[in-house]
Each structure stands twice: as C-alpha cells, then as structure tokens.
Amino acid sequence: MRGYNLDTETITQIHKLRDLGHSYKEIAIRLGIGKSTVNHRLNPMKPEVKAKAYARQKTWKRHNRLTTTINGVHRAFKVLKRSRPKYCELCKEITSKLYWHHWDDNYLGIGLWLCWSCHHFAEGVDKGLSLDLYLGLKKELTSEKLLVPLEVEITIAPYWS
Ligand SMILES: [Zn+2]
C-alpha cells in the first residue's frame, strides 16, 4: 500500500496534475510512482469498503498464514490450512476463536483447528507433558498428608486504597 506512505509534496503534485487534466498513467510516470498509487490517492476507499477489505484480508490470513517460532526465530509462512470449522476439533466447543495447531515444522499445513485451551493442552502434550504426570502430581498434592486442613478467607483491599 505505497499510496498511504507518500510524502505531502507528492500528494499535492498528484492533485495538481490531475486538475491540469493529466491521466493517471501520465501522473504515475511523471512522479515515478505506480498507477494504482495515483488511483488510491484520487479515489480513497470509503470506510465501509475499507472495512470489508480488512475483513477479507483477516479471513485470508486465518486460512492461509501461519506465524510460528522455529529454532527461536519468529517466522511467517503461507500455508494452505484445512477449512476452518465452527467448533474446536478437540473439545467440539463452538467458537469463533480457533487456532491452527501444527506439530511438524516441515508440514505446516497438517494441523488441527483448536480453541485456546485445547491449543495449549495440545502444545503441552507435544512438548512431552504427560497427562499421567499431571494427574499424578495433582493426586500427590491432594493426598491427606499434604492437605492444609483450613483455608482462611481474607479481605482484599480495593486497588485504589
Ligand atoms: Zn477445545
């Protein structure tokens, strides 16, 4: 979107040249910018058109783009993901917030559409965390010898005091 990063002098020139009757192509050649940049300047997008374009771009990104960290480097890839369902593929909860979970950096297009909590669960499992380990720790800490017999409710001071 070069048209949005033009200096004020160039923008003034575009309008002046157009007022003098020059074509978009002539203006573009004379100022050394693209013809579409001239068009963007002379016919700015209406807010509703802009919003639609933004929504389309967002949808495209959801379906075709993946950002991930590989060997400590944050990178972005164009990936063709399976079509996005209306629910999490693991817990089946219907949600509009779904995340593409992949497990092989060489095959980014192989993955699952998961909700936030299932995505973190899957990441944990992929990291080698085991459900048995978690359940074991939980059981250990709730065993009678470790249980604190009494919880005391305390009053929390409001943050503004
Ligand atoms: Zn889920």
The three-state (H, E, C) secondary structure of the chain, written as one string: CHHHHCCHHHHHHHHHHHHCCCCHHHHHHHHCCCHHHHHHHHCCCCHHHHHHHHHHHHHHHHHHEEEEEECCEEEEEECCCCCCCCECCCCCCECCCCEEEECCCCCCCCEEEECHHHHHHHHHHHCCCCHHHHHHHHHHHCCCCCCCCCCCCCCCCCCCC
Please check whether residue 150 lies inside any domain of the structure.
no
Please check whether residue 161 lies inside any domain of the structure.
no
Sign of the alpha-carbon dihedral angle for 149, 134, 68, 117: negative
CA of 76 to the centre of ligand 1 (A): 24
Question: Is the domain of 122 the same as that of 60?
Answer: yes
Please check whether residue 160 lies inside any domain of the structure.
no
Please check whether residue 151 lies inside any domain of the structure.
no
Walk along the chain (161 residues) and give the pLDDT tens digit of each residue. 444 578 899 999 999 999 999 999 999 999 999 999 999 899 888 889 889 999 999 888 888 898 888 889 999 999 989 999 999 999 999 998 999 999 998 899 999 999 999 999 999 999 998 889 889 988 888 876 666 666 677 788 777 65
Rounded to 10°, the helix 8-19/35-42 angle is: 80
CA of 119 to the centre of ligand 1 (A): 7
Question: Is the domain of 71 the same as that of 19?
Answer: no
CA of 111 to the centre of ligand 1 (A): 14
CA of 52 to the centre of ligand 1 (A): 29
Question: Is the domain of 11 the same as that of 24?
Answer: yes
Domain that holds residue 129: 49-141
Question: Is the domain of 55 the same as that of 39?
Answer: no
Please check whether residue 159 lies inside any domain of the structure.
no
CA of 99 to the centre of ligand 1 (A): 10
Question: Is the domain of 34 the same as that of 55?
Answer: no
- The pLDDT tens digits of the residues spanning 96-131 come to 899 999 999 889 999 999 999 999 999 999 999 888
- Report which of 139, 93, 137, 136 is spatially closest to residue 118, judged by C-alpha positions: 93
The total domain count for the chain is 2
Question: Is the domain of 60 the same as that of 128?
Answer: yes
